[in-house]
Each structure stands twice: as C-alpha cells, then as structure tokens.
C-alpha cells in the first residue's frame, strides 16, 4: 500500500526566500507524480507533473525533481512571494492497472511580506 509523507507539515518564510518542500513515498513503482496547490476553501490546482522516466520539471519559479528509486520528490520554489501562500500536496500515481493517486497530507506554506 502506497504511503506518502510530506515534510515539513508547515513552513513560514519571509518573502524572497528560496524554499524546498519534500515528499517521500513507499512504493517506487509509480507511473508519474503530480504536485498540486490548494488555497483555503478552494479546489486543487495542478502545478507540475513528472513522468516516471523524468528527473525534473520546471514551470516559472517552480522546479520539481523526482528520484523514483529512493521514493522521493522535492518542490523547489524560488524567490517566494506572499501569493505563494497555500497548501502544497504531492501525489504519486500507481504504475499498475489501477492507476490510483494517493495524496500526502500536504505542506502549509506561509510567505510573510
């Protein structure tokens, strides 16, 4: 059974800092891994998708890496802004016929102006 852990659970940083969010998962036989952002009371917005054959993906100030063999992914946010404040969730997708996504409990990020 896939288990996903995100560390830290909460993080507060001053504006402008670079930061790293960590995601670890127990079953390395994944199809892909997705990072999402969720604002309070809202739905989930997809940030980055990394296929199992890829090592990283970049979008603007965001960079996500994947080390499938060790069951780890990181989300790097450069030059953080108050608008980045949200909960960040990672979700590896199973590689078999079931193709389920299992979520971590997320990292709550607060960027102080």
Partner 1 sequence: NAGVTQTPKFQVLKTGQSMTLQCAQDMNHEYMSWYRQDPGMGLRLIHYSVGAGITDQGEVPNGYNVSRSTTEDFPLRLLSAAPSQTSVYFCASSSLGLAGTGELFFGEGSRLTVL
C-alpha distances in Å from residue 60, one per residue of 41, 51, 79: 25, 18, 11
Out of 12, 51, 81, 112, the only residue in the binding site for partner 1 (CB under 8 A) is 51
46 lines the binding site for partner 1 (CB under 8 A): yes
108 lines the binding site for partner 1 (CB under 8 A): no
Judge contact between 111 and 80, C-beta under 8 A: yes
Q: Minimum distance between the CB of residue 18 and partner 1, rounded to whole angstroms?
A: 26
Judge contact between 77 and 37, C-beta under 8 A: no
Nearer to partner 1, 37 or 80 (CB): 37
Burial label for 74, CB within 10 Å (0-12, 13-18, 19+), is: middle
98 lines the binding site for partner 1 (CB under 8 A): yes
Judge contact between 20 and 87, C-beta under 8 A: no
Choose the binding region for partner 1 from 11-19, 21-29, 43-51, 74-82 (rule: CB under 8 A): 43-51
Q: Which residues bind partner 1 (CB under 8 A)?
A: 31-32, 34, 36, 42-46, 49, 51, 89, 91, 93, 97-106
């Amino acid at each position: 059974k896939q288990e996903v852990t995100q560390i830290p659970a909460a993080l507060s940083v001053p504006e402008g800092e670079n930061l790293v969010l960590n995601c670890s998962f127990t079953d390395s036989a994944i199809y892909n891994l997705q990072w999402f952002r969720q604002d309070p009371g809202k739905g989930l917005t997809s940030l980055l998708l990394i296929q199992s054959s890829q090592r990283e993906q970049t979008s603007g100030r965001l960079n996500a890496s994947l080390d499938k063999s060790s069951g780890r992914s990181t989300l790097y946010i450069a030059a953080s802004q108050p608008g980045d404040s949200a909960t960040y969730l990672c979700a590896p997708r199973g590689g078999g016929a079931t193709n389920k996504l299992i979520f971590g409990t997320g990292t709550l990020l607060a960027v102080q102006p």
